[in-house]
Amino acid sequence: MVDPIQIKDLTYKYDTDGEEVLKKISLTVKKGEWVAIIGHNGSGKSTLSRFLNGLLVPEAGEVIINGMDTRDEDKMWEIRKYVGLVFQNPENQLVGTTVKDDIAFGLENNGVPTMEMEERIRNSAEKVGIAHLLSEEPHRLSGGQKQRLAIAGIIAIQPSVIVLDESTSMLDPQGRKEVIQTVLHLRETENITVISITHDIDEASLADRILVMSDGEIVRDGAPEDILTDEEFLIDQSLDVPFSVKLQRYLLKEGINLNHVTLSLDDLVEELW
């Protein structure tokens, strides 16, 4: 089976005489994986995400999505259907006068027949838990509901990969939780591949794999339990240290013996979520 995302030696600069914002990035993401991308501001995370559905096209290196080269203009629509991008601010993504119209918009653009549209709208609204809001006006929804609507609009198109670019950062804790649970559910039920760019270290800790970007490079690629417990590295990268890691260090410093306590990062995060 071909991997959904294969990037090889991707180098990019916005201006020909400007700095390289991506430097020889190589990356493979497997089907059904949840990869969180973290890194300081300006490290190139958003730029990288724009290469994943062809919003940006490589000049040096290559980006292959489900076997399709993003430089191939004939494949552009197929690539956009395969990878759905959800941005930070839900307000900018909502276009319909009702929730239903809003989800319909992307389907119309993709030429989905009317009969099938009804079914896809209902299905995607149900998957993100907003089926009871279909005739609501989008601007009346809460932040979490708006972002879930933006996700519904994307999943109605039935992508295999969802890229969330800081999609939870404008939400309150409840909204964040709603969006993350929605995505987790989709991954479980549909085996969707998820790429989430986030500042929220607790959110990143739930992913299968974390990529850390710094100055246009991937400086670490590994399991959350390896990366997020490396306090020195996180501080060096101007990243937050997870609460659970700080707590463990504090308890150890105070001489509290944890040998008989099963305090795993996963358990703790689950408990606190």
CB of 217 to ligand ADP, least distance (A): 12
Stretch that binds ligand ADP, among 1-9, 37-45, 132-140, 167-175 (CB under 6 A): 37-45
Are 177 and 273 contacting, i.e. CB atoms less than 8 angstroms apart?
Answer: yes
Stretch that binds ligand ADP, among 44-52, 54-62, 126-134, 143-151 (CB under 6 A): 44-52
* Closest to 129 measured CA to CA, from 174, 85, 161, 91: 174
Tell me how crowded residue 135 is: count the other CB atoms within 10 A of its CB. Answer: 9
| Residue closer to ligand ADP (CB basis): 156 or 212 | 212
The one-letter code for the residue type at 103 is I
Stretch that binds ligand ADP, among 40-48, 127-135, 156-164, 246-254 (CB under 6 A): 40-48
- The answer to whether residue 44 forms part of the interface with ligand ADP (CB under 6 A) is yes
- The answer to whether residue 14 forms part of the interface with ligand ADP (CB under 6 A) is yes
Stretch that binds ligand ADP, among 36-44, 114-122, 124-132, 174-182 (CB under 6 A): 36-44
Strand order, beta sheet including 161-165: 83-86, 161-165, 193-197, 34-39, 209-214, 217-222
29, 36, 39, 178: residue in contact with ligand ADP (rule CB under 6 A):
39
User: How big is the site for ligand ADP, counted in residues (CB under 6 A)?
Assistant: 10
| Residue closer to ligand ADP (CB basis): 45 or 100 | 45
Pairing verdict, β 161-165 and 83-86: parallel
For residue 167, CA distances in Å to 18, 93, 180, 259 come to 28, 11, 10, 38
- The answer to whether residue 58 forms part of the interface with ligand ADP (CB under 6 A) is no
- The answer to whether residue 70 forms part of the interface with ligand ADP (CB under 6 A) is no
CA distance 36 to 21: 19
- DSSP annotation of 240 reads P
Query: Element (H or E) spanning 175, and its range?
Result: helix 173-190
- The answer to whether residue 42 forms part of the interface with ligand ADP (CB under 6 A) is yes
User: Distance from first CA to last CA of the chain, Å, rounded?
Assistant: 35
Residue ranges binding ligand ADP (CB under 6 A): 14, 21, 39, 41-47
